[in-house]
Structure 1
Amino acid sequence: MTLGFAVVTALSIGTSDKPSPLPRWLDTSLATITFTVLFGVLPTWLRLLVRRWREQRRPTSQPPPANPVSPAQPRLQWKTPSAASQDHAANSAPPISTSVGSAPLNRRSDRGTPGAARHHPGSAAAPLRWRRLDADGFERLLFDLLRAFPEHHNVQWLSHTRAADRGRDLSMDRVLYDSTGSVRTERVIVQAKHWLAKTVDVPAVSGTVAAMKLWEPPVVRTLIIATSGRFSSDAIMWVEKHNNSGAAPFVELWPDSKLEALLAQRPQLVTAHGLR
């Protein structure tokens, strides 16, 4: 733009009719140079000075760090191959079973050896020593065990000569609570069979169920057959078929494994009856 104005000035002076003491070419040149300096070079030089002055007053910024680390970014921790294999083995270890009736294992022995199980008195980690009891002691153990449950009322140790095995049995009232707030009581007979040499078979179970009529009235709603041994597979199938038919009484089978699970929660009874 400055150059354009200089050209216009040169043309104006060169074509002017006004007389001048200087030659026309010199007058035109001086006028063009003067116009260019005043309106082109001088403003540009002033703007450059002002820009440099502003840059000198501007505060210098700190250079960014060479390797910035964000506070929120976690640092990576490299592990040796041995440490990584130990972590993998710990995370992939199978969970320990805590089902009812299984014994909790202490992973440290008395000497601190890993992997050795320590059996505490009264736990069901090992089978109970049922042979220390006779028939009378077994029924006494059931009597104490039944009284340990808060829903069992009026637990009695009876003797009935007309029973199928002519042995003593126990009776109680079991209180059943409903989630709606209703409460009902049912009569329960417990038949004790301290059989270690043989299993409880179908004739023993069916004969006990048939003998329940001798205990009425009142009506027997549930029959519990508890044994220190085992039930035969045929006896278990017979009880399942009987309960599915809806016939009274409802039969519950308590083998030695169930008794050991119940007594594991009450080690004082195990100790009191000498089963350890």
Structure 2
Amino acid sequence: MKTTELRAFTSGKEVIYVYHNRIDATGEAIKTENSVFRAVDDTISEIFKLVKKLSKSGNVYRFLITADHGFIYTRKPLEATDKLEKEGFADRRFIISKSNLFRLGVYAVRLSTMLSSNDDRYINLAKGMSVFKCGGGMNYVHGGSSPQELLIPTLYVKTQRGVVDTEDAMINLITEVRKVTNLRISLDFYQDKPVSDLVKAATYRIHFVSSDGEIISNEVIYKADSKSDKAGNRIASMRFDIKKKNYDNNLRYFLKVINDKTNVEVLSRQVTMDLPFTDDFGFGV
């Protein structure tokens, strides 16, 4: 939607309701339920972009972001012994029926008690991670009474007019490194943009690390603070001293670049450690 169209749409409205269903649509389909966490990440990104667009182009500056429910996801599908037979109007996590089911793994509450009404039916809820036999996948469920399903976030976002986004100066690896064959290695890095009003200087920590978390080199500090418009002036060579040890072929090894302020990993390259065993005297054997 163009800026003029967006402003015309939002003009004069007190409340604009936006419904987003990617998480449920992904989790409730058997073929895609295992991708629900990717759907969560995509949803957060899309809502963030929408808030920015409405704020910048739609003259909307206050947002209330929430959800209608949470969910439970298990990597391993629930076993048959965890499932409960259904009767009445059933979902995987609850059954609405005319009677209390009085079954192991189920507890019931009168709807009249919950809703302060004359409804004499019961809502029967599956305890713990149990589910009723019903359609749909068996990894992603919601509708029950667990904290994960009942407690929902509510975010109030207020943006400011005329605020311009800034970004950290990023760095990229120039040197192609797939295999480490020496205890000392030099790598070239490139700062992608010069520092300006919109691009802020940033500091990065760079080191080699194993998949079990052991740092196997010195940690180099890279300050991406160059203001030069010439790309060649934004290249820096960093030297790494690799730890002398016998490397386990069952582990994986990586070059990691981490933003020092946010502690966010911005670059990762897997490498093969092809070093001869080195004793304390520095002689390969």
Shorter-normalised TM range: under 0.3
Q: Which structure has greater helix proportion?
A: 1
Task: Give me the TM-score of the superposition, normalised by structure 1.
Answer: 0.20
Task: Give me the TM-score of the superposition, normalised by structure 2.
Answer: 0.20
Q: Which structure has greater strand proportion?
A: 2
Greater Rg by CA: 1
